[in-house]
Homo-oligomer: A and B are copies of this chain.
Amino acid sequence: MPDDGFTLHGIALSGPTYKVALLLSLAGQRFQYRHVNLRAGAHKSPEHLRLNRFGQVPALEHKGLALCQSGAILEYLAETLGTYGGEDAAARQRIREWLFWDADRFAPGVYRSRAYRRGFAQAEAAVIESYRQVAEAGFAVLDENLAGRDWLVGKSPTIADIACYGVAFFIEEAGFNAVQWSNVDAWMKRIAALPGAKAPADLLPMQDATIG
C-alpha cells in the first residue's frame, strides 16, 4: 500500500482515534502509529500539545501539517484522498450535518456510557443515567434515519457513516444491544463488511507500529 506520510497519534481505546484509523484503512492508506500514553499524561506534554492544542487524542501528522478533532480530520482526509467524501456539494453539506450531530448528540452519550461501564471514569448515578439517555436517543435518531437506506448520505458509504460507526461500534461496551435498533444493526454489518474494515485492536496496537 502507498505510504503517503500519515502518522496517527492516539490510543487503542479511543473511539475518535479509531474513526481516523478506520478511514485510512478503508482508503488503503498505510500509516505510522504512535501510542500516546494517557495514563502517563503524554497528551498534556508540550510535544503533544504542538500536535493537538486541545490536549486530546487523536492527532494526525501529514506533510508537515498537524491535524486534530476527528471530525475535522475525516473531512481533511476525504478531501485529500478524494474518497468517502460524498457525491456532490449537497451530499457534503449533509455529511457535515451528521458530523456535527455526532459530536453534539451521539458520541458523548456512547463514549461516556462506555467509560463509566468499563471503569475508565467514575461519576454519580444521575450523571451516568443522563449520558445513558443521550446515547439511547442518539441510537434512535440513527435508526430512524437509516430506515430504508443503506448509508446515511447518498448511495455509498461516506465519512458520515465512518464517524457514527466509530461510536456505534462500542454499543455493547456502552451497555446497549443493537437488536432494538435493527436498521443500525444492519448498517453496522454493512460497514464491517467493507474491504479494509478492521476492528480497533487490529488498527491500534498498544505500542508504536506501522499499519497497512
Residues in A lying within 8 Å of B, measured CB to CB? 53-54, 65, 67-72, 75-76, 90, 93, 96-97, 99-101, 103-105, 107-108, 123-127, 130, 141, 145
A interface majority secondary structure = helix
Partner among B54, B96, B108, B141 whose Cβ is within 8 Å of the Cβ of A69? B96
B100 lies within 8 A of A71 (CB): yes
A93 lies within 8 A of B67 (CB): yes
Contacts of A97 in B (CB 8 A): 54, 67-69, 72
B127 lies within 8 A of A69 (CB): no
A100 lies within 8 A of B101 (CB): no
Minimum distance in angstroms from A97 CB to a CB of chain B: 4
Minimum distance in angstroms from A183 CB to a CB of chain B: 14
Question: What would 8 A/B residue contacts be, using CB atoms closer than 8 Å?
Answer: A54-B105, A65-B90, A67-B93, A69-B104, A72-B97, A100-B103, A126-B126, A127-B130
